[in-house]
Amino acid sequence: MTAVAETIAALRAQVQAWRSEGLRVALVPTMGALHDGHISLVRTALERADRCVVSIFVNPRQFAPTEDLDKYPRQLVQDLTRLAEAGAHLAFTPDVGEVYPEGFATSISVGGPSAGLETAFRPAFFDGVATVVGKLFIQVTPDVAVFGEKDYQQLCVVRKLCLDLNLPVEIIGAPTIRDAEGLAMSSRNAYLGADELKIAQKLNKVLRKAAAALEAGSDEQATMAAARQEILDAGFDELDYVEARASLTLAPWQRDREGRVLVAARLGKTRLIDNVEIAAS
Interacting residues toward ligand PAF by CB under 6 A: 29-31, 59, 62, 129, 132-133, 151, 154
User: How are strands ordered across the β-sheet holding 51-56?
Assistant: 3-5, 90-92, 51-56, 25-30, 144-148, 170-174
Is 89 a known active-site residue? no
- CB of residue 59 to ligand PAF, shortest distance in Å: 4
CA–CA separation, 64 and 85 (whole Å): 34
Among 15, 34, 37, 38, the one annotated catalytic: 38
Residue 132 near residue 59, CB atoms below 8 Å = yes
Q: CB 132 → ligand PAF: shortest distance, Å? A: 5
Amino acid at residue number 279? A
CA torsion 124→74→34→178, rounded to 10°?
-70
Q: Which is nearer to ligand PAF, 86 or 132 (CB)?
A: 132
Tell me the closest approach of the beta carbon of residue 229 to ligand PAF, in angstroms. 30
Q: How far is the CB of 159 from ligand PAF (least distance, A)?
A: 13
Maximal CA-CA distance, the chain: 58
| Residue closest to 37 by CA, chosen among 178, 171, 133, 152 | 178
Angle at 132 between CA 157 and CA 103, to 5 degrees: 135
Angle between helices 8-20 and 125-140 (to 10 degrees): 50
Minimum Å distance from CB 133 to ligand PAF? Answer: 6
Cβ distance to ligand PAF smaller for residue 31 or 206:
31
Please give the radius of gyration of the chain, using alpha carbons only, rounded to the nearest integer.
19
Crossing angle of helices 125-140/152-164, nearest 10°?
60
Residue (129 or 276) nearer to ligand PAF, CB: 129
Nearer to ligand PAF, 59 or 223 (CB): 59
Residue with Cβ nearer ligand PAF (61 or 228): 61
DSSP 258: -
Which positions are catalytic?
38
